[in-house]
Structure 1
Amino acid sequence: MQLEFYKYQGTGNDFVMVDNRTDFFPKDNIKLIAHLCDRRFGIGGDGLILLENDTESDFKMVYYNSDGNQSSMCGNGGRCLVAFAKMLKVIKNIATFSAVDGLHHASISDDGLVSLQMIDVADVKVNQNYVFLNTGSPHHVQLVEDLESYDIKENGAKIRYGDLYGKAGSNVNFVNQVDENTFSLRTYERGVEDETLSCGTGATAVAIAMNILGKTEASSVNLNVEGGKLTVSFEKNESLFTKVTLKGPAEFVFKGTIVI
């Protein structure tokens, strides 16, 4: 069987996209999905995303990490899926879609920037050296010195597999402040088990965490990720963050077929 696929990337976070509106894809085949995401023996990607029909919205997002397992929300993947849906003419410039963490609203501009509304965030745990919160996926946020030379894979894995988060683990973000409303971050992603060039839910978590810590008073925060730039905006009412929006580019890379 030949599988038609599309490759998209959002600030270097790359995904294999499949139009599964006819429900043909073998969704429980973990080995196959991991193979398709493999950069040496497959297509290559941080994850695989299925676009499916949905009765309550424009489409449904089904997301898999590169290890082949279905996972929690992926912000950059959601933004790329909106661009994919527009290319397929499922939507025009406005979308509502369902994902594992609920309904999301999004828009795409003529220059390819996708704005994606994330879930509201109320439960932010501030600890002595780190902040933990869930922005659709769980995130550990930690300020570090010398971010450029910091060993993200080694230190991220220690936290991800450590006693702090148990078997489920957490994504881990290491952060450095650039100016009053700009932060640089590098992210270790569970499921990929390595650093990725960008993480949308991670950027969202960092923006909220830095506001909670008093590092910025801005309601629109600029995030420098390894693969480019993202912006996270929100409204804050005491400890509740609403209208949380992740904005950045989502770009088509190539289309192809692969035998499965």
Structure 2
Amino acid sequence: MDVHFYKYQGAGNDFILIDHRISPIKDIDYESIKQLCDRRFGIGADGLMFLTAHPEYDFEMLYFNADGRPGSMCGNGGRCIVAFAKHLGIIDKETDFLAVDGPHYARISEKGNWIELQMIDLDTINRDGKAYVLNTGSPHYVIQQQDLINFDVYHNGKTIRNNDTYKENGINVNFVEDQGDHLFVRTFERGVEDETYACGTGVTAAAISIAKHKNQTGHIQTPVKVLGGDLKITFDYDGKQFTNVFLCGPAERVFEGEITF
């Protein structure tokens, strides 16, 4: 069947989006999703999303990794699907939608392409040596790294993601450099099995980990630079729980077209 698709990107994290209300696909072919996300033989994307109807929310987000498999929460994908819902006329400036990790609230700024997405609250952070391990909707490993711009993220990230501890379920590996007035973050993503230009749940995990590391409390705003641009994380931390966590950044429509599923 022929299906209309849209391509969106958020800080270089790019996605194929399909309005599943209009073009329902009963039997989702994971191999087809993998091929569509392939950058040489398909459209090319870090993942694919279906926007589906839901009786209790504005819409539901169904996310698939670039390997074709159903994924955990994708923060930049969440911001992109909010922009997509706005384009479709489903929402205006605010929304409540459902994702794999539960309900999410989001708001769209007056600029139009700046989306502020509320992430899940967090009260558990574990350690693995010098690294922090936490779940911000997806599981993340966060470790500080100096001279990050010249660091081999692919090989080091792949090694950690596939070690004996994480190989079975996988983990996203984030390297973060505290540059004073902002964090610089690079991420090796499971499901993509490569470094991506941005990872929304990853920069959220990085900002929370650095706040924990520095014993910061109160209302915290953390500018973050990634290979694909600028993001911002805000949250409240009382020493026990991280709440009111927001991932903020741009989400833009790139192009649209027709594909055969």
CA–CA distance in structure 1, aligned partners of residues 73 and 260 of structure 2:
28
Aligned equivalent of 1:47: 47
Q: Does 1:19 align with 2:4?
A: no
Aligned equivalent of 2:32: 32
Aligned equivalent of 2:200: 200
The sequence identity of aligned pairs, in percent, is 47
Q: 1:116 to 1:60 in 2, by over 3 A?
A: same
Q: Does 1:254 align with 2:260?
A: no
Q: Does 1:64 align with 2:64?
A: yes
SS of match in other structure, 2:203: helix
CA–CA distance in structure 2, aligned partners of residues 215 and 195 of structure 1:
29
> What letter matches 1:251 in structure 2?
E
Q: Is the 8 A contact 2:236 2:244 kept in 1?
A: yes
CA–CA distance in structure 1, aligned partners of residues 169 and 128 of structure 2:
20
CA–CA distance in structure 2, aligned partners of residues 9 and 22 of structure 1:
22
Aligned equivalent of 2:75: 75
What are the equivalent positions in structure 2 for 1:98-247 lying under 5 Å apart? 98-111=98-111, 112-179=113-180, 181-214=181-214, 219-247=220-248
User: Displacement, 1:200?
Assistant: 0.2
CA–CA distance in structure 1, aligned partners of residues 27 and 73 of structure 2:
17
CA–CA distance in structure 2, aligned partners of residues 127 and 38 of structure 1:
33
Q: Is the 8 A contact 2:3 2:23 kept in 1?
A: no
Per-residue CA distance 1:176-210 (angstroms, 9 max, x = gap): 1110x511010000000000000000010000000
* Structure 1, 166-175 or 24-33: larger mean CA deviation: 24-33
Q: Structure 1 regions of 5+ residues with no counterpart?
A: none
TM-score of the aligned structures, taking structure 2 as reference length = 0.96
Aligned equivalent of 1:8: 8
User: Displacement, 1:216?
Assistant: 5.6
> What letter matches 2:233 in structure 1?
V
Q: Structure 2 regions of 5+ residues with no counterpart?
A: none
> What letter matches 1:144 in structure 2?
Q
Aligned residues: 259
> What letter matches 2:243 in structure 1?
T
User: Displacement, 1:2?
Assistant: 1.6
TM-score of the aligned structures, taking structure 1 as reference length = 0.96
CA–CA distance in structure 1, aligned partners of residues 253 and 27 of structure 2:
23
User: Displacement, 1:215?
Assistant: 7.2
CA–CA distance in structure 2, aligned partners of residues 30 and 90 of structure 1:
27
> What letter matches 2:24 in structure 1?
F
